[in-house]
Structure 1
Amino acid sequence: MRTPEACQDLNDVRIGIDTLDQQIIQALGQRLAYVKAAAQFKPSEASIPAPERVAAMLPLRREWATDAGLDPAFIGPLFAQIIQWNIDQQILHWRMTHPQTAEGAEHE
């Protein structure tokens, strides 16, 4: 993969974009693995969303976006969606690994 400045044609650009998209998807998969690993440290399904953690994460991601020259107005909602999807996945994972307590979790 060439750097953007070294691209000699549109095919080089497309290869670069496809390669980066694949890396982003792999990174999202790795992120999900960490999210699932966190489930083992959660005492209950109700503890998974951790709104205080999300509230701390989003401003930091917007700051990182600004530092990287990206629009935080784009990155903020993007990460809000990523985080919510990961929370949903962690809940599903927690239910699969704690079947005996998952039924009662809705009543907490």
Structure 2
Amino acid sequence: MKVITCQSLDDVRTNIDRIDQELIRLISERSNFVDKAAQFKKTESEVEAPKRVEQVITKVRGLAQKENLNPDIAESIYRAMITAFIQQEKSKLKELEDE
């Protein structure tokens, strides 16, 4: 974990903005893989994959603990992200069916 000393609220905000930029880049990269995953699935139930969702949540909670992040926060963020990506993947699946 990178520790940066902040002398002011502006310093804190600058660092949060830097982190947000990197998070968005990584979420965009993840989004591209979600689109690729749709190419290998045939049904909406394959997209929803509740067992896989729970595997990811379990993994993320463990990673959060290792990084000193409240696992409930990580789970909440990931559940929202997974829900959004499932919708994206369903849309992509529909596009592929219509081709």
TM-score bucket of the superposed structures, by smaller chain: 0.7 to 0.9
Bigger RCO (CA 8 Å, 6+ sep) = 2
Give the superposition deviation at 1:76. Answer: 1.0
Q: Summarize deviations over 1:21-72 as a string: whole Å, max 9, x none.
A: 1111111111111111100111223311111111111011011000000001
For residue 33 of structure 2, what is the aligned residue in structure 1?
Answer: 34
Please provide the CA RMSD for this pair: 1.8
* Counterpart contact for 1:4–1:13, Cα < 8 Å: no
Sequence identity percentage: 31
Q: Contact conserved, 1:45 with 1:95, CA < 8 A, in 2?
A: no
Deviation at 1:99, TM superposition (A): 1.5
Measured after TM superposition, the shift of residue 75 of structure 1 is 1.0
Equivalences for 1:20-99 in 2 at 5 Å?
20-99=19-98
Letter in 2 for 1:44: T
Q: What are structure 2's unaligned runs of at least 5 residues?
A: none
The runs of 5 or more residues in structure 1 that have no matched partner are: 101-108
Which residue identity does 1:4 align to in structure 2? I
Structure-1 separation of matches of 2:19 and 2:87: 26
Counterpart residue identity of residue 48, structure 1: V
Contact 2:35–2:92 at 8 Å: present in 1 too? yes
The alpha carbon displacement at 1:16 in A equals 1.4
Instruction: Give the deviation of 1:11 after TM superposition.
Output: 2.9
Once residues 96 and 23 of structure 1 are traced to their aligned partners in structure 2, the CA distance between those partners, rounded to angstroms, is 29
> Which moves more between the two structures, 8-17 or 47-56?
8-17
**2: CA distance, partners of 1:19 / 1:96:** 35
TM-score normalised over the length of structure 1:
0.80
